[in-house]
Amino acid sequence: MGSVNKVILVGNLGRDAELKFSPSGFPISTFSLATTDRRKDNDNHWSDKTEWHRIKLLGKQAESLKDYLKKGKQIYVEGRLETRSWDDKDGQKKYMTEIVADRIQLLGSAGGGASRDRSAEEFDTGHFDSGPAPSHEAPDDDIPF
């Protein structure tokens, strides 16, 4: 059997999407997504555990979605895990794992309402020619978000 690298997340944006361009002009958008798991502990008290995910969106969709991907907005993301490495300014090897989005669907309004927006849209990034793959440049800082 072959292998599968697929991630599906529904969560809220932790910050507005940031659009940058590679040296060759290829658009790359990054943003953080929070997913929260609510559990009951042994004392019957509810607690929330939030995980933060770094999402990368490539090509034309990175440009077209920049005005929609705002802090607090609830979205559905399908993609694949990708880990990259670089040497920091002190020569230490650093690693970052992020989700490269293949499909994004805008869900509720900012603040994560459970109901769907009337204007909810789906963006399947796998059906578009995104051009050449961008070079993987080291991030501006050592913190992934």
Cβ pair 59, 130 in contact under 8 A: yes
42 versus 33: the higher-pLDDT residue is 33
* CATH 2.40.50.140, applies to 7-36+45-127: yes
Cβ pair 26, 136 in contact under 8 A: no
Cβ pair 144, 138 in contact under 8 A: no
- Answering whether pTM is above 0.85, one says no
In 3D, which of 29, 73, 74, 37 has the Cα closest to residue 55?
29
pLDDT digit string, tens, across residues 74-125: 999 999 999 999 999 999 999 999 999 999 999 975 554 443 333 345 555 4
Residues 15-36: what's their mean pLDDT?
A: 94
pLDDT digit string, tens, across residues 36-89: 999 888 888 898 999 999 999 999 999 989 889 999 999 999 999 999 999 999
